[in-house]
A and B are shown apart, each in its own frame.
Chain A
């Protein structure tokens, strides 16, 4: 029951507010008018011009999810199997970056990646590079920043799921002549799939809505759809229009996620 209350107060209520605002309009002084609901904002938000930004968002979120899983799974596996008494300490280390503002960490990445930054200077000093290579303000720097920021969200659920795995099942697989690789592919991986799904969602969904990282580490050509929403809200001062676009994106995300989960479940169960 408290869970339902939480959901109602912190999830449903804000959504309803956004939905109501998205049907509103602005008067000549820029004040919100909610009296005459209209779908105009949705029509306006359905712009082919926004597709490239939406594609960028999908590209960043997908790449970030895949890379985070590829790095996060071995890390979580290693902590669970070989962490021993230091497990907790290692998990705390995973969480440690959260103790510093994301903003400050992003600025650190700027200093590391920029043309006369730490990486380029080191490579040029050692003679490995003649001229600096551009890393900052590219797709690379955006994805790097996102992976860095979201990786802990992948490691933690993966760890829980790997740690809960009954190792006797893996041993049973080995007893039945499975190779190490076979036991991993046919026992460990399927049994930790819930952790993989949770990790994917926890990385993919916030990554899809990220505009801070592309803003800080990106360039002229790394605009995500979330940035467009932000522009409409702030410099555009048009809450109804921004709410409509945001609501549509949320719908796409929810439908896409549910469809993905359903097909995954079908694959796993049936």
Chain B
């Protein structure tokens, strides 16, 4: 299975394009750091300015709104109306807010061509920026569509950041495979449509570490001292330790969280780093084993085909993100068209083939590159998938329990 990841034909070109486009770096983290340094540079210049008042300081980190004017059009209720027209006239524009490199190469252009709708496609550097923007005015920051992690849905539904979908405008919902028709975070997909999903596990270089690794215990193995990386992600690290200890990755029990913290503290001296660039660290040989997401592993194999990946047997995390229409969307009809378009079998397959993450689209399966579709680590069988756990949304008081322990671990 882990042998040749590049079957002949078009997939090799895809792989090469990926490689060139991403230069081996994790897309999200790279962008995140560009963003982070922007703020950092601004602060540095501010200091210089303080030292010599003549210099012109850079403005404080107030994020400029990339959104064009967006007064909410008086729109009909999100629920299906009694109007006889099947498809209302869509607006001429659409504002989309997504990760960079997280959609098929030609998807936006094809949508514009098909519907004559002009798409303003804005990118966010990291999840904190995204959520901050979407919640800034309580109704989506002026955007029509965004792609939050599914764990946000209960909160977004409760506080009205997203609007209920009009399923009559999204006939392609029928393309979703059965297990995505009724997800726990949003029963019946009333407010969201699943977009891409992944598993968490770890990747290793079989030339440096022998054997078929299967357990989270490997990440605590003193024999691998200074050769391993964990993801720089509080929830994923806590989940890894929780599975190892037989606890729930969503626990809010203080005693259990302390057990998890103790386990992570025991592991920390064995780690070379908490990585923000699992792809670069594995491909560059900085570590021989890294905690990682399945999609990142696919990108590692574009550079080093031999790298292997496992979903540990004690259990692991399954995650997905969703497409939502925001409650303040200025162009709700166009937004529904966008979601429907991305659920099209062909478009959905093109998205997956470009970004390396599986989608929930059953109709797209025949068109997905077989090295993605046929790999049980990227596309696990239903019985494995059923065992995987989704990270639950944590209310602020519970999240604080995690943050306190994570900062203690990292500062210590």
Bound complex: CA A209 to CA B39 (Å): 12
Further contacts, 18 of them, CB under 8 A, given A234-B128, A235-B128: A3-B53, A14-B60, A28-B396, A47-B411, A53-B410, A114-B284, A134-B226, A136-B286, A137-B272, A153-B48, A202-B47, A212-B37, A218-B273, A220-B271, A221-B269, A231-B410, A235-B233, A238-B399
A49 engages B408 (CB within 8 Å): yes
- For residue A233, give the distance in angstroms from its CB to the closest CB of chain B: 7
A102 engages B41 (CB within 8 Å): yes
Query: Would you call A225 an interface residue if the criterion is a C-beta within 8 Å of the partner chain's C-beta atoms?
Result: yes
Known: A53-B410, A137-B273, A238-B403. A205 touches B47 (CB 8 A): yes
B34 engages A206 (CB within 8 Å): no
Q: How many residues of B contact A (CB 8 A)?
A: 58
B37 engages A102 (CB within 8 Å): yes
A50 engages B411 (CB within 8 Å): yes
Question: Which residues of B lie under 8 Å from residue A126 when comparing CB positions?
Answer: none
- For residue B76, give the distance in angstroms from its CB to the closest CB of chain A: 27
**Please, which residue of chain A has its CB at the minimum distance from the CB of B48?**
A202
Interface residue SS majority, chain B: helix
Binding site for A on B (CB under 8 A): 25, 30, 33-34, 36-37, 40-41, 43-44, 46-51, 53, 57, 59-60, 126-128, 131, 135, 155, 158-159, 226, 232-235, 268-269, 271-274, 276, 280, 284-286, 395-397, 399-400, 402-404, 406-408, 410-412
- For residue A44, give the distance in angstroms from its CB to the closest CB of chain B: 8
**Please, which residue of chain A has its CB at the minimum distance from the CB of B267?**
A220
Bound complex: CA A101 to CA B73 (Å): 41
B36 engages A212 (CB within 8 Å): yes
**Please, which residue of chain B has its CB at the minimum distance from the CB of A222?**
B273
**Please, which residue of chain A has its CB at the minimum distance from the CB of B230?**
A220
Question: Which residues of B lie under 8 Å from residue A220 when comparing CB positions?
Answer: 268-269, 271-274
Bound complex: CA A30 to CA B131 (Å): 11
- For residue A205, give the distance in angstroms from its CB to the closest CB of chain B: 6
Known: A6-B49, A223-B410. A234 touches B37 (CB 8 A): no
**Please, which residue of chain B has its CB at the minimum distance from the CB of A220?**
B271
B273 engages A31 (CB within 8 Å): no
Question: Which residues of A lie under 8 Å from residue B233 when comparing CB positions?
Answer: 235
